[in-house]
Structures are given as C-alpha cells and as structure tokens.
Chain A
Amino acid sequence: MIEIKDLHKSYKMGSNSLHVLKGINFSVEEGELVAIMGSSGSGKSTLLNILGMLDELDEGSYTLDNVAIKNLNETKAAQYRNKFLGFVFQSFNLINYKSAVENVALPLYYQRVGRKERQEKALKYLEQVGLKEWATHLPSELSGGQKQRVAIARAMAAEPKVLLADEPTGALDSTTSYEVMDLIQKINDAGNTILVVTHEEDIAQMCKRIVHLKDGVIVEDKKVEQVRASQYV
C-alpha cells in the first residue's frame, strides 16, 4: 500500500540546513495497523506529513497504492489527499461552526457527492462511531473523546486507502484514549490500513507493528502482539 525508499528531508533554518529524515526505507501492507514512535525531534511528524502529502520530500520515492507521489502541485495534492487519505489530528480540527454530521460530510463535499447522499453517508459513519444521536450538535457541545470520534468518522467518510492519525490520543485522558484506540482497532479489523503517530508506549502496543524513529532514521521495526483496547473500556 505504502512504499517509501531512501527518503530524505531537510529544512532550511536560515543559513543552516536541518537534516530531519536521513534515508527512510519503509513499507506498509494493506490492512496493517502501524505505530510510528519516537521522541520529539525524531522526525516522526515530518514523516507523517510527507505520507499525508502535506509536505514534499527532497530525495527518494514515495508510492501510495501504486501511484508515485512526486512533484505534486497544490491542486493535485488536494485531489490525492481527498481520494487516498483520511486524517485524524491530536487537536481534532473540527470546524467549530458546523455540526457533527456536517463535519463528517465535508470531505464528501470535496468529492462532489450530492447533498442528500452526503448526509446519509455522514450519518452512517457517525453511527459507526456511536454518535448518531449527537449528529446535530456543534463540536463545542461534545467531549474530547466524542470530538475525536467525530474526527475519525470524518476521516473514514471519504473511504480513504490509508488513515493517518497524528497523536490521536494526545489530548485525551487514558480512558477516553482507550475508547478511541478501540475504535481505531475496529476500523482496522474491517480491513483499513492505519498509521498512528504516538509517543505513548501503551497506545503503540495496541497496534500490530511498531516503527521506532530516532534522529531521522528507523532504529527498530517490529511486529507486536496487539493489546486489545476493549479490555480497558
């Protein structure tokens, strides 16, 4: 599904250049649930941004679902993001003046899905995350865990190839975190490919594979015995 070869990325900081990713080789099969771990400054967010086409790579190659991702202009990148990727952010990033169902329907709007169908689909995904009865509520009326579930529903609504979650539990307490992880595991069980960036060991243990980044290189890449989050809920 994802194929990365010899990826380099550096940032210009004035006259110096900061080499963040120093040759990453990494691939993800369909249906995997991968945790990317590392301390801050290890380059994990940069990697996720490149995977999410929010940032461009300097060197190397990136193939997503057999499509080479390179030299994208903004419009093309937006198209690919819409078609291939779903995002879940640490700070939820819901649009605050739109209700839960409207937030979920938004990626469908950019897929040019009709209003009625959008509404139906959005409700279906909200139901899957258990928030159907909260559909007309604004984000400000939801708890953190609920917000993240709406965000996950939104990411799933576009039916992406890969779900990218950047510290999805970073702003949540542990009980809520496990609820969210339980949801992510269930989505993964349904066959979706998911990448989770986290620095929490227990969250990483709930994935099927852990990739450790340090100073811009992968230092460890191991499969783990998945801990089911449902046992904590």
Chain B
Amino acid sequence: MFDLERWQEIFDTIRKNKLRTFLTGLSVASGIFILVILLGFGQGMQNGVAKEFEQDASTSVWVWPGVTTKQYKGLNPGRRIQLRNENYDFAARLLEDEIENKSPRYFVRNASVNYGKESLAYGVQGVSHQFQFIENAYMSHGRFLNHSDEVHTAKVAVIGNKIKRDVFKDTLSPVGQFLKISGILFKIVGVYGDIGGEREEERIFIPITTAQKVFNGADYINNMSFTLPPAENFDAAVEQSIKFRNKIESYLKQVHKVAPDDTSAIQVFNPMEQAKRFYNLGLGINLFFWFVGICTIIAGVVGVSNIMLIVVKERTREIGIRKALGAKPWSVIGMILHESVFITAIAGFTGLIFSMSLLEIIGPHIEIDYIVNPSVNFNVALATVFVLIFAGAVAGFFPAWRAARIHVIDALKDE
C-alpha cells in the first residue's frame, strides 16, 4: 500500500488508459451520486411532512358537529347536531386527566367589523384563553385572551398579524386601539402570529363568553378543540390521540342520540393520526429510496466487476509478459486490485462530494410542499462508498486471481 514504486506504476497505467479509467470511475461516481440524491430526497420528504404538521399543536384534536345520516332511536336522519356549552363542559370534566388545553369556539356570523371609518372583512371567533396553545400561535404584540376576560365577559379582541399589516400598517402597535364589531367597541389587547401562514392570521379572537352573550349565541358552540399532553414518543402520542378521539366521539354521539356508526354527525380531526399516515408514507418512501439506492449500488458493483473482468481479460497478455519478466502472482493481483480500489475510491468520493455539496447548496432552498431541506447523513453516505470500494475489490479479485494463475505461455498466446 505504501510502496511508492507501485503507486508510480499504477499512476502510469491510469494515465495511459484514460478512457478505461474514466468509464470505471463514471459508473462508480454516478452510482454514489444517485444514491445520495435519492436518500437526500427521502429525508427531505420526511422533513416536509414534519413541517406540514407544525402549524397546529401536533397533539391537537378538533371536534365539530354535522348532520346525521342514519336514523337512530326513532329519530330521522338529516338532523343538524348543535353542540352546547354543557357538552363542552362535560367532556372537559370527563376527560380532564387527558387534556392539556381546551377551547370551545363560537363563530360570530354576519358581524360587521369597523376600524374608524374603515369596514373590514375578517372572521370573528369566540375562543377560550387556551386556544393560543391549540393553534400554536405566538404573540407579536400584547397578550392573548386570559381567564379573567372570560369571567368578566370583557370586550377585548386579539387580531392576527395579517390584520395588523393590512389595517394598522401606519401604527407601531395596534394594542389599545378599538375595533367596532357590530356596533360594539372591542379593545385590541394583542396581535398573534401563526406559522401556519397568512390564512391563519386573519382572524379576530374574542372571549367565548363575550361572543355568546353579546352576539346572541346563547349557549351554542360551533366546535371544540383540545390538545393532549405530550407523549413519550410518536407511537404513544398516536395511540393516546386515538383513544381520546374514541372517548369524546362516543360521549357526544350518546348525548346527541347519534348512531354509533354515523360518521358525519360528529366529526373528529386529529393531526396525529394524519401525521401517522404521512409518517408511514414517508417511511415507505424512504424505504423505497433505499431500495432503489441499493439497486443502484448493486448496478455500480456489477458495473465495476464487469469492467474489472474486461480489464483483466484485456490485460491477460500484459500479465503474461509481466510474469515472464519476473512478476510474482501476488504482485499481479495486487497491481490490479490496487488500481481498481484506487479508482473506485477516487470516483466514489468524487460522487459523494459532488452530491453532498449539491444537497448542501440547493437543499436549503428547496421548499416545495412535502419536500423540505433534503439532506443526507454523511456517515451513511460514507459507508456506501466503502461498501462500493470493498465490493469492487472483491469483484476484481477473482478475475485478477485467475489471471495471475494463467500459464505464461497461454497468456502470451492470448490475442
């Protein structure tokens, strides 16, 4: 390995057989390149799925009513289910131990929103003070609603970042300003942001109690949402959310006399289950990419072996000459392997560096839906290069060994 003379001999050979060297190198480099890029995109997809579910708290559960589609206990289908405060309170008490944050929600319909003389078109929703954590919202000014607002049915409002940008663009902070909602003045106490994007930032939140009282909501609520405490791991979180979903579903169905198999009357959305599905999909895709990548590597190995076979065949006569001049069998094997390992190593690392830098440079800029920052574990990539080099050496060994054992006379006859 550290025999300088042999290195010189190998460099001579490589220099004088550029095409052969180039082709061997190309198949190895492209194999590694394709594998790394594929693995990178597999990772990018997983990143993308993870990001897609970041906009709401990942353990959140959303419940909203619909219309019954099945007759049950003498009641006709087509009945609209209306959730009430008591449903929410009871559910919250029943599942108290399993809930981290909770909030009912009441949509204020046909509300006209004015700021000074300006008329605005934003939705107004009554929520609890814990809704901030369910939405994964952060405060950019002031505060969110609090418990005392609810108790005192305070006329306060929290607006989204987009509203601030649209309406209060000349003001440093809209906190302390007043909005007129259907003729009633509400004081802005905070501005929230949501990583889910602008669509999530054009709502006005007011306390649920105020919404119901002031806008004739009686004890109606439109939906309710919860977050569950963080679980140890992903699977536990999924299991927990499924359990919770089943409990709350069966309670609400019972209390509203809905057939147990009626899926449209009470609807529960929980991102965890969705995430699980995407996560599994991501795993599947990753597995697929690995499979393709390994096939690519195998193709690369086969390519290297093929080239080695041809190289040895092509060099049979040369090997015969070398042996006649006093080359020992092991020096012949060593020469061929040394050359092939050297070429695969250089080409492998070239492919590795090329693909890694491509991912490094382009990766962070890729932000299509479901593909975010494709990247690859360096050690994994490095390991594949070594596997390829090793496989190439093994693949080259047998033809080299055979060539070294050929009789000099036969080798010299080879044309």
Contact = CB atoms under 8 A, between A and B. Distances in A.
Given A55-B409, A79-B328, A82-B326, A109 B9 contact: yes
B17 A78 contact: no
A102 B12 contact: yes
Given A74-B329, A93-B317, 10 more contacts: A54-B407, A74-B405, A79-B326, A83-B326, A89-B412, A93-B320, A93-B321, A110-B326, A110-B331, A115-B5
Contacts of B329: 74-75, 78
Contacts of A40: none
B16 interface: yes
A174 B76 CA distance: 116
Give the 5 A-B CB pairs with smallest separation, nearest first. A82-B326, A97-B16, A110-B326, A107-B325, A78-B328
Contacts of B327: 78, 110
Interface string A98-117: 10001000110111101100
Q: DSSP majority for the B interface?
A: helix
A171 B59 CA distance: 87
A198 B320 CA distance: 22
Contacts of B330: 75
A158 B326 contact: yes
Nearest to A97: B16
A18 interface: no
B357 interface: no
Contact of B326 (A93, A102, A111): A111
Nearest to A155: B325
Interface string A73-93: 011001101110001010101
A154 B5 contact: no
Contacts of A55: 407, 409
A19 B16 CA distance: 44
A68 interface: no
Interface in B63-88: none
A67 interface: no
A142 interface: no
B337 to A, nearest CB: 17
Contact of A109 (B5, B13, B328, B412): B5
Given A98-B16, A109-B9, A115-B5, A93 B328 contact: no
B8 A115 contact: yes
Interface string A46-71: 00010010110000000000000000
B324 A74 contact: no
Interface residues on A, range: 20 to 34
Contacts of B328: 74-75, 78-79, 110
B5 A107 contact: no
A95 interface: yes
Nearest to B413: A91
B52 interface: no
B403 to A, nearest CB: 12
A102 B255 CA distance: 97
Contact of B324 (A79, A83, A93, A111): A93
B322 interface: yes
A78 B329 CA distance: 8
A49 B324 CA distance: 11
Given A54-B407, A54-B408, A98-B16, A107 B317 contact: no
Contacts of B16: 97-98
Contacts of B404: 74
Contacts of B322: 95, 106, 110
B323 interface: yes
B318 interface: yes
A44 B400 CA distance: 31
Interface centre among A83, A89, A109 (most CB of B within 10 A): A109
A54 B329 CA distance: 13
Interface in B1-21: 5, 8-9, 12-13, 16-17
Interface string B329-372: 11100000000000000000000000000000000000000000
A87 B17 contact: no
A91 B331 CA distance: 24
